[in-house]
Amino acid sequence: MTPRFPLPCIRGRIARSAPLDRITWFRVGGPAEAMARPLDRADLRALLAGLPEEVPLTVLGVASNTLVRDGGIDGLVVRLGRGFAEIRAEGGSIAAGAAALCANVARAAADAGLGGLEFLSGIPGTVGGALAMNAGAYGRETADALIDAEAMTRTGDVQRLSNADFGFRYRGHALGKDRIFLSARFRGVERPSGEVRAAMAEIAAAREASQPIRTRTGGSTFRNPDGAKAWELIDRAGCRGLRRGGAMVSELHCNFLVNTGSASAADLEDLAEDVRARVRATTGVGLEWEIERVGRRGGGAA
C-alpha cells in the first residue's frame, strides 16, 4: 500500500505501508497506508499541519479493543508514544498522558494513596482509548472519575474539555472523532495504599479467572444490552466455542473472541456477525459491537 499523499516531516517516526498486525491484540489486520509516531505535542502539531485536509486520520493506542480489517487502513494512522505517557499525582488527582496505560494510572494512584481508580487496572488499554469509549470495568467507568481532558483538533488547537463537555454515555461520548486526546486528569479519594493494592489484586484475580487474557483476543466484543449481559445471551444462543476459520468464541468468556493462531480479521468479524444473528434468532435481542472495527475488508471491500 503506497501512500497517495506526501508524508509530513516530523522529528518522530513516520513510515509508509506500516504493518498493524504486530500491534493489535488480535494479531490480525492489513497495513496502514502510513503511520506516524510524533514525539510530543509540538511534533503532533507539525504532523497535522503538514497533512492534507482530505487525508483520513485514525488514532490507535495499543489496539486492545480494536479489530483492524485485512485490507488495512487508508490515510494516516497516528500512535502517541512515550512523550504522551507521563503520569503524575497532583494532590487528590492523577494526571496522565493519553498514551499511558490505564493499569499504570491505577498503580500510580495506589502509590499516591488514592482510591477510586482501581477499576482502571481492569482496562487493558490506554487513557486515550478510555476517553474515546468511556471504558469501564468492575462497576465504574471513565466518566465516574474524569475531571477534565485535553485534546488537539485537526487544526492543531488544544482544547480543555470538562467531564460535562464529553456528554458521556455507555461506551461512548458525544464529541465526535475530529480530535486527538492528549491527556486527562482523574479524581481519586484518599485511601491507604495497601487497601488500594488489595482491591487491584482482586480485580487482577477476577480477570485471570474469567477472561482469556493470555490469548490473542480483544476486549468485550459486544455491549451489554439494557437489563442484560451480552455473554449470557451469547451462551443461551449456544455460541460458546463456536468457530469460523481460525477464530473462536472463547470457552472461558463467550463475549470474547479468540484468534487460535490462524485467524484473519474477516474470520473474527464474520464469526461475531454469526453470533449476533444467532442471538437475535434465539432471544430477539440485537447486540451492538463494542470492539472498534477500522479499515477495509480484504479484497478492496468497504
pLDDT tens digit at each of 302 positions of the chain: 556 889 999 999 999 999 999 999 999 999 999 999 999 999 999 999 999 999 999 999 999 999 999 999 999 999 999 999 999 999 999 999 999 999 999 999 999 999 999 999 999 999 999 999 999 999 999 999 999 999 999 999 999 999 999 999 999 999 988 899 999 999 999 999 999 999 999 999 999 999 999 999 998 999 999 999 999 999 999 999 999 999 999 999 999 999 999 999 999 999 999 999 999 999 999 999 999 999 999 854 44
Amino acid residing at 139? G
What's residue 1's pLDDT? 55
Q: Each residue of 44-72: pLDDT tens digit?
A: 999 999 999 999 999 999 999 999 999 99
Residue 1 included in any domain: no
Query: Locate cell 474469567: which residue?
Result: 210
Question: Which of 82, 103, 129 is the C-terminal boundary of a domain?
Answer: 82
Domain count, the chain: 3
76 and 92 belong to one structural domain: no
Residue 75 included in any domain: yes
Alpha helices in 139-192 (DSSP H): 142-145, 163-166
Residue 231 included in any domain: yes
Strands (E), the chain: 13-18, 32-37, 57-59, 66-68, 73-78, 87-90, 93-97, 114-115, 136-137, 140-141, 146-153, 158-162, 179-187, 189-190, 216-217, 243-244, 247-249, 257-259, 292-294
117 and 200 belong to one structural domain: yes
What's residue 298's pLDDT? 82
**Distance between CA 51 and CA 6 in Å, rounded?**
8
Question: Which of 65, 82, 99 is the C-terminal boundary of a domain?
Answer: 82
Residue 6 included in any domain: no
137 and 36 belong to one structural domain: no
Residue 114 included in any domain: yes
What's residue 178's pLDDT? 84
Domain extent at residue 105 = 85-209
144 and 203 belong to one structural domain: yes
CATH classification of the domain holding 42: 3.30.43.10
Question: Which of 58, 82, 106 is the C-terminal boundary of a domain?
Answer: 82
What's residue 2's pLDDT? 59
What's residue 128's pLDDT? 97
189 and 91 belong to one structural domain: yes
Cα distances (Å, whole numbers) of residue 222 to 65, 138, 229, 285:
11, 16, 10, 12
Rg (CA), the chain: 19
93 and 192 belong to one structural domain: yes
118 and 182 belong to one structural domain: yes
Residue 5 included in any domain: no
CATH classification of the domain holding 242: 3.90.78.10
89 and 39 belong to one structural domain: no
What's residue 301's pLDDT? 40
27 and 56 belong to one structural domain: yes
187 and 260 belong to one structural domain: no
256 and 170 belong to one structural domain: no
For the entire predicted model, the pTM comes to: 0.93
User: What are the residue numbers of the active site?
Assistant: 171, 220, 290
Cell of 244: 469460523
152 and 108 belong to one structural domain: yes
Residue 128 included in any domain: yes
